[in-house]
Structure 1
């Protein structure tokens, strides 16, 4: 193999746990408020729309920052498992569901379960988190490059 091909092959084999976690977190924290506010677009003015979107993005990033750290840890540990990529992503989807619900439960601890489940914002965050986990490419952890 040529040197350029070897570099490209070696780059493809590097695990990308941090960038994968960052993409998931930023997608969930930025896309979810947009989806949620778009449902109210016809009912509010443009200024109210922008105001709501700004604060939802700001609070979404702030409240989910600790969950981002836990997501990085979950991705790193899961990627080290010797399972197929599909099983790893399934584990990460379950972890993503838990980590998506944690800020809501910690912010609204007094809510009854059935009132809590009616909150449409939760579904926007769950949808974007699960979609990002499945959509983005996770490079498996490889101990060493096998030379032929």
Structure 2
């Protein structure tokens, strides 16, 4: 448990997805659910998630928001954040477990689950441009060229 956040433990699957942000999805209210970042800051990890307990605009465009807590469940989140903490200041004295989650409103109704695992794309190498130098004019015998200032 961190200040203003309830954070879950890691599952250890190691799966990460490229971060995608949307201008309408902001951590602007309490109860927003976001994915933790992977070791590489370009990817979001499904190993864990966190729930905000108040407005957190500093998380916008840094963490991926995947949903929010609705209804009376927000009171349970507030209770989890108010537990006594151990000396390290982050671990609750009495661990709390989330036993069940439900998607109450599907955002995309036409999506079907695929059995494929999505792999991160490798960055493509940029092609170098070839530069051709042309020496059309020959220099004089003494190596000086004619040059006029305008």
TM-score (norm 1): 0.25
Higher strand share: 2
The structure having more radius of gyration, on CA atoms, is 2
The structure with higher relative contact order (CA 8 Å, sep 6+) is 1
